[in-house]
Structure 1
Amino acid sequence: MSKFKSLIAALLLLSLPLAAQALAPGDAAAFEGKPVIGQGGVVLGHVERVILGADGAPAQVLVRPKGLRAGGPRSLSVKALKVEGGSLSAPLTKAEFDAMPAIEPARE
């Protein structure tokens, strides 16, 4: 019965928003390179970097847009994203994402 409970707990964690999973700073890098999917199932881009907040928890995700002339990364709040399988889901259309300003991230 405990294996069944462990399986249910793991499945529930996968269905929660990324912020609710309380990722440790070392785990944040696991999301780098993952696709970010927008409304309608369109790929917006891929996670370039995860920015940690003052508390060490993931706070922002820098997403490199898909395409040759897409420009720099866009910053999305971790709270707005959901983990769905091997990708992240964002509540944005492609047009909304493309209209966001590109940022120049500070180097650590």
Structure 2
Amino acid sequence: MYSIDIASREIGKRVIVSLRLVCPGQEDQYSGYWGVKHSVHDGGLLVEVEGGSDEQLEMLPPDLNILDKAKHNICQFNDETIIENIDYEVYLTGALDPANF
């Protein structure tokens, strides 16, 4: 169950997000970003992006169960950038066609 009150406690925490797009007939595509949780809303957690995306803000789904405690305090991103002080890791998978998910 998603609670704005509980989610509000996560504001200011750094998160690294891994995105996997399932593509039938070809290799899956991977991307991601990292940033700090900026605010919480009924629609989810708003992340102020620090890198990995051209967007300034990205929205995570309204589900606190997707937040895994970071296994490491430091991580090297795809572009060789070093990210430090990571609180959470998020792994999301999607598909262009729900039938392929």
- Normalising by structure 2, we get a TM-score of 0.45
Whose radius of gyration is greater, 1 or 2?
Answer: 1
Q: Could you say which structure has the higher strand fraction?
A: 2
More helix by share: 1
Structure number with higher relative contact order (C-alpha < 8 Å, ≥ 6 residues apart): 2
TM-score (norm 1): 0.43
